[in-house]
Amino acid sequence: MTEEQRSLGTMSSPVCSEYNIALQDFNRHAFSTSVQHKEVTEARMKRDLAKLGKKLESYSPFSAGHPSLRNSITGVVADDNVDVDEFCTVGQKLIDTLIGQLVFIYSFKRQGKAKTLNDTSGVKVTPEK
């Protein structure tokens, strides 16, 4: 496809849309679509919210007995390396290293990002890793 063909197609799109709307109005027919994603229906949202509530009752990440981070689904407790809850501090450190650097040639290092539960190499499920 040449640049001229691409430009012609792009520039004619609003005109074609107007013709389409005018013909729909003239024929008293309207094109409409239904909701395409089953996740946005009200029944699905209520069901998912109920499932989430049951899961949070089982593995509450907000209990006073365990102030550490943990996965709310599996109950796996994060070790001391995980610092995603300190993302503002980690982000500020990154910004501090960017000062005086050219953005397009700056190389972001993996050690500078916040560490999540997924980033840990071993997860403590039992006393041994």
Cα–Cα distance between 86 and 26 in angstroms, integer? 59
SS3 77: strand
Expressed as residue numbers, the domain containing 12 is 1-32
Cα–Cα distance between 6 and 104 in angstroms, integer? 30
Q: 27 and 41 share a domain? A: no
Q: 7 and 48 share a domain? A: no
Helices (H), 63-119: 87-98
Q: How many domains, the chain?
A: 2
DSSP letters along 6-60, please? Answer: HHHHHHHHHHHHHHHHHHHHHHT---------GGGSHHHHHHHHHHHHHHHHHS-
Q: 110 and 47 share a domain? A: yes
Q: Is the pLDDT of residue 128 over 70?
A: no
Q: 21 and 75 share a domain? A: no
Q: 72 and 107 share a domain? A: yes
Digit-coded pLDDT (tens) for 8-34: 788 888 888 888 888 888 888 877 766
Of these ranges, 30-34, 42-46, 58-62, 111-115, the one predicted with the greatest mean pLDDT is 42-46
Q: Is the pLDDT of residue 124 over 60?
A: no
Q: 85 and 99 share a domain? A: yes
pTM: 0.36
Q: 64 and 123 share a domain? A: yes
Q: 89 and 118 share a domain? A: yes
Average pLDDT over residues 62-71: 65
The H or E element spanning position 4 is: helix 3-27
The more confidently predicted of residues 34 and 48 is 48
